Every structure is written in C-alpha cells, then in structure tokens.
Amino acid sequence: MSKYTFQIWRGNSSSGEFVEYKTEVDDGMVVLDVLHRIQAQQAGDMALRWNCKAGKCGSCGMEVNGKPQLACMTRMNTYLEQDVITVQPLKTFPVIKDLVCDVSWNYDQNLNIKPFKPGLSDSDGRYRMSQEDVDRVQEFRKCIECYLCQDVCHVLRDHNRKDVFVGPRFMIRAAGLDMHPLDVEDRIPDIRDEFGSGYCNITRCCTDVCPENITITDNAIIPLKERVADRYYDPIIWLSNKVSGLFQNDSKI
C-alpha cells in the first residue's frame, strides 16, 4: 500500500479551486476507487458521477492530469507514487459542483436528430439484415455516451461553437442511423446544415479519447462528410439534381 497525493477541483458554477488530498492506494485500484475512498474518509460531500464502475455506462468522465478519461477505467498503477494527480471536471461543459458538469446540451442535440424510420419488412413481418451490413453500425452503437469526445473536440472545447456543431458523439449517432440497413430517413441536409459536419477539421482527438475504441473520425464523420459532398458538391449529381428537380423536388440519393 502506498500513499498518493491528489489535487481535486472543488467548487461550483461561480468559483472553485484545487484541494489537496493524500490517501492510501491498494493494488489494482482505479482512480474512481480512490475518489470513493476520499469521499468516505475526508470529503463526504464531494460530488462526482458514477454508475457501473466497469466502463459500460459512461458516467464517470473527468479529466485526470488534463486528459479526458473514465475514472473507473484509469488504473492507479499508471501513475507513480511521487506524482501529483490532478482531477477536474470536463472543461467543455458548465460545472455544477466539483467533478459534476451540466451535460444537458448533449441531450438536446440528440432530440434534434430525426429518429430511426424503418422501411418495409419481409412479407412475414420480419426484417432481414446480414451481419456484415450491421457490423459497421454496431461499432457506432457501442457508444456509452461518456462525452469524452465532446469534451476534447476543438470546435466545442476551444471555440465553444455549440451553436453550430453537434460534436463527435452525435455525428456517430447520425452515422449509426444513416448507415442502418433498414433506415429510410434522409438526414443528409440536417447533417450539413443543422449538425455542422463541415466544422470538423479531422484532428481525430475524439477517436483518441474514445474508451470504446470507436474510430469516430474515419468511420463515421468522414463518411458523413462524403455523403454531404456527394449530395451537394458532386458536379454530375448536382447537374442531374438540377435537371430532375425541374420535375420533382424531393429526390433522395
């Protein structure tokens, strides 16, 4: 057993500071275990979110030594005893108290995405899809909504453009719907105009922090950008749309 030093951000929406705690750390502990120990022994009212403690619910996202992480999946043996470990709330969202942020903006974005709309089923009422076709979508559906990608996204974090870009989480949500083999809804105009696909400049920071190892940028955002480009900027399709648009206005590619 060894003693570690933590600097934990304590405060609320108006003010706060780092407070130092020293605590024993046992073999196999993760950061969340340490926070719980500090809570039980030294700071009963220290606020933090957690649920499953197994990397499956995405509640305990925070910044440990400046890096967005799930506290439940961050092992203490990745730090040295002489290190000072800083723990602070996600920077991109307003703080409520201590390590807890107001992430309600994310829930608002989800509401703006047109829901799943299935096409016709087989005559027996069942749907058929091949595993190969659902593999791609299943990658996006692994998302545990921890919002670490939202936290690290430059558009949201550094430029605070929550008014124009939904962030990586909801780009993969949109991709998961758009690439769903049964879905027939058209979201391409929204992806460009409402979700701000053009704002992502492909730095892949979101992919780096994803605890589920979803290849967010390459597998979701770039293909969505391509779909937008095909619809709006491909000269041949543009021309054919113009021509066919003389006869109908709701063409879907």
Partner 1 sequence: MNVDISEIQTFDHDVVVIGAGGAGLRAAIECSDQGLNTGMICKSLLGKAHTVMAEGGAAASLGHTDERDNWKVHFRDTMRGGKFLNQWRMAELHAQHAADRVRELEEWGAVFDRTSDGYINQRPFGGHRYPRLAHTGDRTGLEIIRTLQDYGIHQGIHVHQECTALKLLKDSGKISGVFGYWRDTGRFVLFRTKAVIMATGGAGKIWRVTSNSWEYTGDGIEMAYSAGAELIDMEFAQFHPTGMIWPLSVRGILVTEGVRGEGGVLLNSENERFMFNYTPDRFKEETADSPEEAQRWLDGDASARRPPELLTRDVVAKSIMKEVEAGRGSAHGGAYLDIASRRDGEYIKRKLPSMYHQFKELAEVDITKERMEVGPTLHYMMGGIAVDGDTQMTAVPGLFACGECTGGMHGANRLGGNSLSDLLVFGWLAGKGAKDYVSQLFRPLQIDPDHIEEARREAVGPLNQEGGENPYLLHEELQNIMNDVNIVRTADGLKRAIESLEELKPKLANIYAAGSSQYNPGWNQALSMRPMVMVAEAVARAALIREESRGAHTRLDFEGEREEWGNINIMICQNTDGSMDARKVGRNSPPDHLAKIAYSNLEDLEGGVHV
| CA distances, 187 to each of 32, 114, 200, 203 (Å) | 39, 7, 17, 24
- Rounded to 5 degrees, what angle do the CA atoms 24, 53, 48 make? 70
Measured from the Cβ of residue 221, the count of other Cβ atoms closer than 10 Å reads 23
Q: Which is nearer to partner 1, 16 or 198 (CB)?
A: 16
Name which of residues 24 to 63 contact partner 1 (CB under 8 A): 26-30, 33, 39-40, 44-59
CB of 134 to partner 1, least distance (A): 5
CB of 201 to partner 1, least distance (A): 28
Q: Which is nearer to partner 1, 79 or 199 (CB)?
A: 79
Torsion sign (Cα): 66, 70, 75, 81: positive
| CA distances, 134 to each of 113, 122, 176, 215 (Å) | 20, 17, 10, 16
Measured from the Cβ of residue 231, the count of other Cβ atoms closer than 10 Å reads 19
Q: Which is nearer to partner 1, 128 or 159 (CB)?
A: 128
Name which of residues 63 to 122 contact partner 1 (CB under 8 A): 73, 75, 96-98, 100, 102-104, 107, 110-111, 115-116, 118
**By CB under 8 A, residue 164 contacts partner 1:** no
**By CB under 8 A, residue 216 contacts partner 1:** no
CB of 125 to partner 1, least distance (A): 8
Measured from the Cβ of residue 147, the count of other Cβ atoms closer than 10 Å reads 24
- Spatial distance between the Cα atoms of 76 and 10, rounded to a whole number of angstroms: 21
CB of 123 to partner 1, least distance (A): 14
**By CB under 8 A, residue 142 contacts partner 1:** yes
**By CB under 8 A, residue 185 contacts partner 1:** no
Q: Which is nearer to partner 1, 155 or 214 (CB)?
A: 214
